[in-house]
Chain A
Amino acid sequence: MSGEVLLFRLFAAIVCGGAIAVVFSQSIVRMAFWLVISLGSVAGLFFLLSADFVAATQLLIYVGGTVVLLVFGVMLTASGPYLKIPTSPSQVVLAGGVGMLLLSLFVWSVSSVDWDRQSIRRVRISAEKFEAAVGALASQEESLRSILLSAAEMDKDMFADDFHHRIHHHPTDATKSLDATKLKEWETVFHKVELISHAYSVQDHGESSFYVYDANGHDDAGDHDEFGHGHEEGEHGNHNEHGEHAAESESSQLLAFWKSHGLRFAPDAVNTGTSRPLGLSLLGYRTDRDLAESGLKTLGDGFYLASSGNSLSTGYLLPFEIVSIHLLVVLIGAAYLARAKRRADSAQ
């Protein structure tokens, strides 16, 4: 378990523990305290995902602002030294119902996202080198591993785009010189590559990068149409029929092979900084999809980016959901405060 995962679990545990403690506390100020712990840990998670601005805003608005106001309100309105909230069974049922609704909303929004695509590790591959290597070795089925290895090691200037698309629609000099059988061989190889690596590309500042999934836990190869490979859905369907288990074992074997040969998957040290894909996605930037426009996008110099035309609204609403539930908690707390004060008044 890497240190990052450890930190994530720590923060996540504190978030959940704090939230549970908020629910089960009877004293409003203790609730506020646990709310601060919980919200602060949410900010910690944002920092961990390198979404610094969201984290700081979380701290400033929710912890530094709202909760302080809440406690301030308690101190002004409290009749006794420590205000307690007794809850009736009907309130428990009502609150539980609302809570379950929100929980189901969360589950729905979380499960509607392909999180595996967010855990991509990047391998950059030089387009020319890759083409050369494939051209030389495509006919030898056995040598697929060395192709991938050599190509991935040549982490140089330009990066591979969607090769498949490129060969079909935007031939370069290298591809033009190949005959039909050669192309067919290429396609076989590229199918393997895609099958193994789930490679896809995202526009990075005018350059295209060739992304490769992390070894563990990626799903089957059938989702490629999401990345604009619509023109070859049939072929991908065939892949699925071949069986996912075979693909998985093959991919994990190959990844293990790459790793044993010193191929490094997007270094934990350097490239993860602010750009952890999950962190970006929390800000609405989805590395697994091109949100900007549908169809093909010209990147210049024969590079084209295929996209499936998802609108921005499919980006994550999760942070907003989290924020809104916090707001809800605070509002309920405020309502209780007003109630508690009335009760104290009527008692006198």
Chain B
Amino acid sequence: MSLILADASLAGFFTEQGLSESWAFAVAGVIHAVLLIHFFAVVPAVFIWLERKVAGRIQDRMGPTRVGGRFGWLQALADGVKLVQKEDLIPPSADAMLFRMAPYMVCVASFAAFMFLPFSDGWVAVAADVGLFALVAILSLEVFGIILAGYSSASKWSLFGGMREAAQMVSYEIPLAICAVIPIVAVGSLNLGEIGRFQSCDGYAVPFVGWLIFHDPFTFIAFFVYFVVATASCKRAPFDLAEAESELVGGFHTEYSGMRWSFFFMAEYASMYLVSAVAAILFLGAWHTGLGPVDAILQGARDKSAAGSGFDAFGYLANVVGFGVLFSKASLLVFVQIWVRWTLPRLRIDQVIITCLKYLVPIACFLFLGAILWPMLLKSATGRTHWLRPLGDDVRAIPVVQPLNPTAESAGLSSDAGRTVVMAAGEEQ
């Protein structure tokens, strides 16, 4: 239950306040869900505004300037109010039930993936050991809503959009999964929290080298491949074949209007943030700043907070800083996605599929193989297992943790919540 609903600490707080345990968990779960839903709703609003501004600037226009002041801050809110007012149209020949359900399906899939996404060290709704795997799995459901929308609209444009989306997603999921596994090879854990902790630059003289993107040449290339594939999986230009305005009117959402239409876009922008945040966690040092001394101070405060029982203001602040860092990195990647959309022309559907199957999949496979062989090659060539550190000198590894429950451990399962660090591998030597 603790895993399903929420991080144990908030529930523990309510238990201390005198609530019964099950109620405390329920309340903690609701609070986490509400926080996530707000994040899920506010982030798209910000990015839609950003998209309009960036598009305007790239096209030598101003973008929104009226609503909410000089920079049009409230443009997304105005859009939202407009969309709520619109009539909810369903084409008479459409399969009404599926037509209604499709936007929810997309939204729920995109939202559910946020449950596994850490926002800072330990700030995660569900700290699962297979977090990355579960996240990728849930994200792959989004395509089903798009296909349903395309199919149930009873429109040729929608059907074509849906088919393109299906073909594209089924192809792009392969390199996406392979690229996500490449940093896993270096870390040795699917737990997004552990992947993040691994990338602290504490102890490196050069900034940023602790990040997995600089771990070896293969992860370096894998980051870019991942980013391309992730852009495609969000059906962003130049891979937005599913909604190609110039050919398919609106693609899969041609027949949608009002709030149902906006659900698709809320999910799309939320997914953009999601894949960017995953990219930041997998490759760009997660919540770590990349500056050794700063990382050391922040991580020290977090560890102290995690080890202690009560509320630790410094640890909390360090986590807030971590959230800011991670959010900035992810937002930067979203900005790049927007930038690419307004700069590059759209690919044809055959080009999209060829790009994936003929180039991205083989490249991803090669990188995966290389990432596996890299430590061996490096060791035989230079006697090191990491290019910046001599062999045996403070080998970085994730801390060995002891699960709270031995039953789970003997089955090879354990949860991230409530574990205590027994020893770090570096200290063992």
Bound-complex Cα distance A74 to B159 (A): 11
Structural contact, A33 and B101, CB atoms closer than 8 A: yes
Structural contact, B4 and A7, CB atoms closer than 8 A: yes
Structural contact, B95 and A64, CB atoms closer than 8 A: no
Structural contact, B417 and A68, CB atoms closer than 8 A: no
Beta-carbon contacts of A49-64 to B below 8 Å, as 1s and 0s? 0101101110110011
Structural contact, B137 and A60, CB atoms closer than 8 A: yes
Bound-complex Cα distance A152 to B403 (A): 23
Evaluate whether A205 and B137 lie within 8 angstroms (CB atoms) in the complex, with A29-B95, A52-B129 already known: no
Structural contact, B144 and A67, CB atoms closer than 8 A: yes
Kindly list chain A residues whose C-beta atoms are within 8 Å of the C-beta of B138.
56, 59
Q: What's the dominant secondary structure at chain B's contact region?
A: helix
Structural contact, A275 and B25, CB atoms closer than 8 A: no
Structural contact, A64 and B405, CB atoms closer than 8 A: no
Q: Which of B164-172, B305-313, B344-352, B377-385 has 4 or more CB atoms under 8 Å from chain A?
A: B164-172
Bound-complex Cα distance A313 to B93 (A): 53
Smallest Cβ-Cβ distance to B26: which chain A residue: A3
Evaluate whether A56 and B166 lie within 8 angstroms (CB atoms) in the complex, with A68-B143, A273-B408 already known: no
How many A residues, CB 8 Å from partner?
A: 53
Kindly list chain B residues whose C-beta atoms are within 8 Å of the C-beta of A151.
none
How many B residues, CB 8 Å from partner?
A: 59
Kindly list chain B residues whose C-beta atoms are within 8 Å of the C-beta of A64.
137, 140-141, 143-144, 173
Bound-complex Cα distance A113 to B129 (A): 29
Evaluate whether A27 and B405 lie within 8 angstroms (CB atoms) in the complex, with A63-B144, A274-B413, A275-B411 already known: no
Bound-complex Cα distance A64 to B408 (A): 28
Kindly list chain B residues whose C-beta atoms are within 8 Å of the C-beta of A203.
410
Beta-carbon contacts of A34-45 to B below 8 Å, as 1s and 0s? 001000100000
Q: What's the dominant secondary structure at chain A's contact region?
A: helix
Structural contact, B413 and A283, CB atoms closer than 8 A: yes
Smallest Cβ-Cβ distance to A272: which chain B residue: B1
Kindly list chain A residues whose C-beta atoms are within 8 Å of the C-beta of B337.
none
Structural contact, B405 and A274, CB atoms closer than 8 A: yes
Q: Choose from A30, A71, A202 the contact partner of B95 (Cβ within 8 Å).
A: A30
Evaluate whether A205 and B144 lie within 8 angstroms (CB atoms) in the complex, with A50-B3, A273-B2 already known: no
Kindly list chain B residues whose C-beta atoms are within 8 Å of the C-beta of A76.
163
Q: Which residues of A contact B (CB under 8 A)?
A: 2-4, 7, 27, 29-30, 33, 36, 40, 47-48, 50, 52-53, 55-57, 59-60, 63-65, 67-69, 71-72, 74-76, 81-82, 202-205, 207, 209, 267-275, 277, 280, 283, 285, 287
Closest 4 CB pairs of A and B: A64-B140, A275-B408, A60-B137, A204-B406
- A–B Cβ pairs within 8 angstroms, 25 of them: A3-B5, A4-B1, A33-B98, A36-B105, A36-B141, A40-B141, A47-B3, A50-B3, A50-B413, A52-B128, A53-B130, A56-B137, A57-B137, A65-B140, A68-B147, A71-B148, A72-B163, A273-B3, A274-B403, A274-B415, A275-B405, A275-B411, A280-B407, A280-B413, A285-B411
